[in-house]
């Protein structure tokens, strides 16, 4: 069997999800290379290809019209497109600016009018091209990445969990952040990460997006009533990595 | 009549983020020689406004995936300065150990995975797998070790979880620290073999020189990293010192029409940050093992060859490894105590400077009396290096033309020069 041809691409992001891939170490990466043929990966290699690609991992948000052309070119070359990481899947942290109208002036001051500094709404790559699979999270779970790749190699599809992070905290017996006097968004956050954040003593901030039909009104209510947030802070909090999923 | 050479490197490879190089030499006359940064800006300083002090670092961490530990540390340090928080000696020791883990991690990735292929005549690390399997495996083993070292303290290395204003939300146990020390001791042969490899390859780097100003965090008691003041040195040895709170007076950011990242300058038209700058400013405080490595690698302060930044990173790999072991020994001997987070005593403005792999990083925040962020400023090492890269390329081009280098050779040298800075371009634009 010929090895699938795999490529990595990046848009507006920190490129940390690509780094997570390298954190697998020698045993996993060298074994993966027995099953995959990495043909393009700008951050790690100079080689490029004009041939079709079997699996394209795309990291980062779609923030400029000029990026649409690049995204479409990748789509036209790739059999399967995987949105890789929160920025690509939902717009991620980049979408916080979508709720502001003065972000350019705040950062660039009087130079903000210069054409090369223009930036539009931070959107998921699915706003520009069709996406076949998602690897969620900020950063992605590198273990889940292996599950996605493994399923593709076996001709099956990885199913992203649809239950909330709370369930994974219960399973690993993590004390609820609210019991510790903190706040949390795990009630409505989509699981699959294994709930590392509450176990490390910080709240879940829904970097993987929300479960289907999440009751976001109730999330705000809990943040106000149990964490003591003002309504304004509760709304801001509910947008942390999910600003594009909230009005 | 001189030669005509034109090329454009669109989205230079084996660097973080997106940068272009444009060269146009017409009959020996340089018409264009430009370093461009088209990276998509993300507007972090705007996005953290109206965010609570406890969550600001988790947003600014996302500025950079490779140096997210550094951004988290710079962010919590600036927030602590704004809030009058003084952390405990244990927190300081753990954060310094975490900082060494990140610099070690990032330098291994840069030198062994991104730069080594140039010195071995290969287009990428993947191409080295069949020909230099042991070099690749060793690099990936050391990378994995660094990931485990950093995760033990920070929860994870990409966007750490446990580092918050006032201390840590979770501490490593002495058992974990001891296991890590054993793993590191077992990795010494890999470290030595990597040093041998780079000692053998380093002479292939171009013997180019362009004196500039070098800026780094400095401290009187250690090779500046997590804490200290700002110091710069000119090639003639003239030093200048700046307090962290006055960082604007030595960074002088400005917007360039060729870049979405801001540029910076100080006493000259540009300055350098990063491993070579740290080495030039602070070499006297390197550990003996690192000084011996510098001797073997043939690097001496003040080194004005920008290609040697990768070599200075190797010196720092050795320094961070042995300094990390020393800090681990201290923590194992003292034991690790549960400590409550130190609470804010005021709400105001505070700044920090931390050495991240690519150089000195500044964060500054202002908070209102509810602890909500009103204003933020982040000055990124690669942003500080952009003007220096531009001036290096302008000096490198005639130097290469004089040696009658071919267009392909010039193109490769240009890419290698940019790569030597280990630029974190999306970080610089943020």
Q: Which residues contact B343 (CB under 8 A, 6 or more apart)?
A: B85, B166
B117 interaction partners in chain A (CB closer than 8 Å): 46
Evaluate whether residue B318 is within a structural domain: yes
pLDDT of B164 reads 98
Count the alpha carbons within 13 Å of B313 in the hemisphere toward its beta carbon: 32
Give A50→chain B minimum CA distance, Å.
16
In a domain, B278, yes or no: yes
Would you tell me how many other CB atoms lie within 10 Å of the CB of residue B367? 23
- Full residue range of the structural domain in which residue B300 is found: 44-429
Gap from B82 CA to chain A (nearest CA, Å) = 20
Residue A227 contacts B where some CB pair is shorter than 8 Å: no
Q: Which residues lie closer than 8 Å to B98 by C-beta, 6 or more apart?
A: B69, B73, B150, B153, B154, B160, B163
Set of chain B residues whose Cβ sits within 8 Å of the Cβ of A10: 17-18, 426
> How many domains does chain B contain in total?
1
Q: How many residue pairs bridge chain A and chain B with CB atoms within 8 Å of each other?
A: 184
In CATH, what number is assigned to the domain containing residue B346?
1.10.645.10
From chain B, the residues in CB contact with A106 under 8 A are 43, 45-46, 49
Question: pLDDT (tens digit, 9 = 90+) per residue, A26-67?
Answer: 999 999 999 999 999 999 999 999 999 999 999 999 999 989
Q: Do B170 and A201 touch (CB under 8 A)?
A: yes
Residue of B nearest to A182 (CA): B54
| CB-closest option in B41, B137, B257 to A119 | B41
Q: Which residues contact A136 (CB under 8 A, 6 or more apart)?
A: A85, A86, A89, A90, A144, A160, A190, A192, A193, A207, A208, A209
Domain assignment of residue B390, yes or no: yes
Q: Is A200 on the interface with B (CB under 8 A)?
A: yes
Return the pLDDT at A118: 85
Is B289 exposed, middle or buried, given 0-12, 13-18 or 19+ CB atoms closer than 10 A?
middle
C-alpha–C-alpha distance, residues B316 and B326, integer Å: 15
CB contact under 8 A, B40 and A14: no
The pLDDT tens digits of the residues spanning A96-144 come to 999 999 999 999 999 998 989 988 899 999 999 999 999 999 999 999 9
Give the other-Cβ count within 10 Å of A3's Cβ. 14
Provide the 8-state DSSP code for B63.
G
Which residues of chain B are within 8 Å of residue A20 when distances are taken between CB atoms? 65, 158
**Is B47 close to A205, i.e. CB distance below 8 A?**
no
CA distance B233 to B384: 15
Determine the distance in angstroms separating the CA of B235 from the nearest CA of chain A, rounded to an integer. 32
Contact A106 B164 (CB under 8 A): no
Closest CA to A26 of B198, B148, B103, B316: B148
Facing A200 at nearest CB: one of B18, B162, B258: B162
Supply the pTM of this predicted model. 0.97
How high is the pLDDT of residue A246? Answer: 83
Q: What is the pLDDT of residues B204-243, one digit of tens each?
A: 999 999 999 999 999 999 999 999 999 999 999 999 999 9
Task: Tell whether B90 is covered by a domain.
Answer: yes
Contact of B44 with B60, CB cutoff 8 Å: yes
Report if residue B332 sits inside a domain.
yes
| Residue A64 contacts residue A116 (beta carbons within 8 Å) | no
Closest by CA to A165, choosing from A209, A134, A110, A121, is: A209
Query: For chain A, what are the domain ranges?
Result: 5-153, 165-245
What pLDDT digit, counting tens, does each position of B334-377 carry?
999 999 999 999 999 999 999 999 999 999 999 999 999 999 99
Q: Say if the Cβ atoms of B51 and A12 lie within 8 Å.
A: no
Q: How far is A181 from chain B (nearest CA, A)?
A: 13
- Cα(B215)–Cα(B381) distance, integer angstroms: 10
Return the residue of B nearest to A112 by Cα: B255
3-state secondary structure at position B73: helix
Does residue B290 sit within a domain?
A: yes
Q: Would you place residue B1 in the very low, low, confident or very high pLDDT band (cuts 50, 70, 90)?
A: low
Which residue reads 């000119």 in tokens? B234
Closest partner residue to A116 (CB to CB) among B17, B68, B257 is: B257
Contact B40 A67 (CB under 8 A): yes
> What are the residues whose beta carbons fall under 8 Å from the beta carbon of A218, sequence distance 6 or more?
A187, A188
pLDDT the model gives residue B272: 98
Chain A positions touching B40 (Cβ under 8 A) are: 11-12, 60-61, 63-64, 67, 119
pLDDT score recorded for residue A119: 85
A133 touches chain B (CB under 8 A): no
CA distance B410 to B408: 5
Closest CA to B23 of B417, B425, B427, B423: B417
Q: Which CATH class is domain A5-153?
A: alpha beta
A residues 141-170 lying closer than 8 A (beta carbon) to B: none
C-alpha separations of B117 from A34, A45, A226, B35 in Å:
20, 9, 55, 22
Q: What local confidence, expressed as pLDDT, does residue A120 receive?
A: 86
Nearest to A46 among B13, B59, B259 (CB): B13
Q: Hey, of B17, B19, B40, B339, which one would you mutate to test binding to chain A, going by the most A CBs within 10 A of its CB?
A: B40
Tokens read off for B419: 């790569």
pLDDT band at residue B303 under the 50/70/90 scheme:
very high
Query: What span, in angstroms and rounded, lies between the C-alpha atoms of A201 and A179?
Result: 12
- In a domain, residue B400? The reply is yes
Burial label, B20 (beta-carbon count in 10 A; 0-12, 13-18, 19+): middle
Q: Minimal Cα–Cα distance from B195 to chain A, Å?
A: 19
Mean pLDDT of chain A: 95
**Are the beta carbons of B278 and B267 closer than 8 angstroms?**
no
Cross-chain CB nearest to B62 (options A93, A102, A200): A93
The DSSP output letter for A8 is: E
In A10-29, the residues whose Cβ lies within 8 Å of chain B are 10-20, 22-26, 29
Q: Tell whether A194 lies on the interface with B, counting CB pairs under 8 A.
A: no
Could you report the per-residue pLDDT of B125-152, keeping only the tens digit for each?
999 999 999 999 999 999 999 999 999 9
CB contact under 8 A, A46 and B124: yes
> What's chain B's average pLDDT?
97
Q: Per-residue pLDDT tens for B383-424? A: 999 999 999 999 999 999 999 999 999 999 999 999 999 999
Q: What is the pLDDT of residues A198-216, one digit of tens each?
A: 999 999 999 999 999 999 9
Closest Cα to residue A41, out of A14, A10, A71?
A10
Minimum-distance CB partner of B161 among A43, A122, A200: A200
- Give the minimum alpha-carbon distance from A159 to chain B in angstroms, rounded to a whole number: 24
CB contact under 8 A, A202 and B161: yes
Interface touch A100/B46, C-beta < 8 Å:
yes
> What does the alpha-carbon distance between residue B117 and residue B126 come to, in Å, rounded to a whole number?
9
* Distance from the Cα of residue B359 to its chain's centroid: 4
Structure-token pair, residue A241: 């990595």
Tens digit of each residue's pLDDT (9 = 90 or more) over A157-181? 999 999 999 999 999 999 999 999 9
Q: From the CA of B8, how many Å to the nearest CA of chain A?
A: 15
Contacts of B255 in chain A (CB under 8 A): 108, 111, 114, 117
Q: Is B17 helix (H, G, I), strand (E, B) or coil?
A: coil
% of chain B residues with pLDDT over 90:
99
- Among the partner-chain residues B68, B126, B156, the one whose CB lies closest to the CB of A38 is B126
User: What is residue B105's predicted lDDT score, i.e. its pLDDT?
Assistant: 98
- A14:B426 CB<8 A: yes
Whether residues B155 and A200 touch (CB distance < 8 A) is answered with yes
Residues of B with Cβ-Cβ distance to A103 under 8 angstroms: 43, 46-47
CB B414 within 8 A of CB B21: yes
Beta carbons of A66 and A128 less than 8 angstroms apart: no
Strands (DSSP E) along B213-347, which ranges?
Answer: 213-218, 229-233, 239-242, 271-272
Exposed/middle/buried for B252, CB within 10 Å: 0-12, 13-18, 19+?
A: middle
Out of B62, B117, B257, the one facing A114 most closely (by C-beta) is B257
Strand partners, B232: B215, B240
- Residue B17 placed within a domain: no
């Amino acid at each position: 069997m010929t090895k699938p041809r795999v490529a990595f691409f990046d848009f507006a992001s920190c490129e940390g999800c690509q780094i997570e891939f390298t954190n697998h170490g020698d045993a996993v990466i060298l074994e993966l290379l027995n099953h995959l043929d990495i043909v393009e990966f700008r951050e790690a290699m100079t080689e490029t290809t004009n041939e079709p690609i079997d699996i394209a991992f795309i990291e980062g948000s779609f923030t400029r019209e000029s990026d649409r052309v690049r995204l479409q070119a990748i789509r036209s070359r790739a059999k399967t497109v995987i949105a890789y990481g929160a920025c690509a899947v939902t717009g991620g942290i980049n979408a916080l600016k979508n709720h502001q109208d003065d972000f350019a002036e705040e950062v660039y001051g009087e130079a903000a009018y210069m054409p090369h500094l223009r930036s539009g709404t931070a959107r998921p790559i699915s706003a520009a091209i069709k996406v076949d699979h998602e690897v969620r999270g900020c950063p992605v779970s590198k273990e889940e990445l292996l599950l996605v790749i493994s399923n593709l190699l076996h001709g099956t599809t990885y199913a992203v969990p649809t239950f909330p992070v709370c369930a994974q905290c219960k399973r690993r017996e993590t004390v609820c952040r609210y019991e510790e006097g903190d706040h949390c968004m795990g009630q409505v956050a989509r699981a699959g990460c294994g709930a590392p954040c509450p176990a490390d003593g910080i709240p879940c901030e829904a970097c993987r997006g929300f479960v289907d039909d999440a009751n976001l009104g109730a999330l705000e209510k809990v943040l106000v009533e149990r964490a003591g947030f003002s309504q304004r802070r509760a709304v801001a909090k509910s947008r942390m990595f999910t600003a594009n999923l909230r009005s | 009549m001189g030669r005509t050479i034109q090329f454009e490197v669109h989205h230079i490879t084996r660097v973080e983020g997106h940068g272009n190089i444009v060269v146009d030499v017409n009959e020996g006359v340089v018409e264009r020689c430009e370093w461009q940064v088209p990276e998509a800006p993300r507007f972090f300083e705007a996005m953290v406004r109206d965010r609570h002090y406890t969550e600001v670092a988790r947003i600014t961490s996302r500025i950079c995936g490779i140096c997210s530990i550094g951004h988290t540390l710079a962010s919590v340090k600036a927030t602590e300065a704004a809030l009058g928080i003084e952390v405990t000696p244990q927190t300081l020791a753990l954060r310094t150990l975490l900082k060494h883990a990140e610099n070690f991690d990032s330098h291994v990735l840069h030198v062994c995975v991104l730069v080594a292929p140039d010195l071995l005549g290969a287009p990428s690390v993947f191409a080295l797998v069949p020909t230099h399997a042991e070099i690749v495996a060793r690099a990936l083993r050391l990378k994995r070790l660094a990931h485990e070292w950093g995760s033990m303290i920070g929860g994870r290395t990409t966007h750490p979880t446990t580092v918050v204003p006032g201390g840590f939300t979770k501490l490593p146990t002495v058992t974990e620290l001891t296991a890590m020390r054993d793993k590191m001791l077992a990795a010494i042969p890999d470290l030595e073999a990597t040093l041998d490899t780079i000692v053998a390859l380093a002479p292939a780097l171009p013997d180019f020189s362009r004196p500039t100003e070098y800026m780094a965090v400095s401290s009187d008691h250690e090779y500046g990293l997590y804490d200290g003041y700002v110091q710069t040195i000119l090639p003639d040895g003239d030093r200048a010192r700046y307090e962290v709170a006055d960082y604007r007076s030595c960074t002088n950011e400005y917007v360039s029409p060729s870049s979405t990242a801001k540029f910076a300058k100080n006493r000259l038209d540009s300055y350098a940050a990063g491993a070579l700058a740290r080495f030039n400013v602070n070499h006297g405080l390197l550990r003996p093992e690192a000084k011996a490595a510098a001797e073997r690698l043939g690097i001496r302060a003040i080194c004005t060859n920008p290609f040697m930044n990768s070599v200075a990173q190797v010196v720092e790999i050795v320094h961070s490894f042995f300094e990390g072991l020393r800090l681990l020994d201290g923590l194992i001997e003292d034991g690790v105590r549960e400590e409550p987070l130190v609470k804010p005593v005021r709400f105001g403005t505070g700044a920090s400077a931390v050495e991240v792999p690519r150089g000195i990083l500044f964060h500054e925040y202002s908070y209102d009396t509810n602890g909500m962020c009103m204003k933020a400023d982040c000055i990124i090492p690669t942003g500080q290096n952009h003007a220096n890269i531009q001036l290096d390329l302008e000096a490198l081009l005639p130097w290469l033309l004089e040696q009658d280098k071919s267009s392909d050779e010039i193109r490769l040298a240009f890419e290698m020069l940019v790569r030597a800075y280990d630029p974190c371009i999306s970080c610089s634009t943020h």
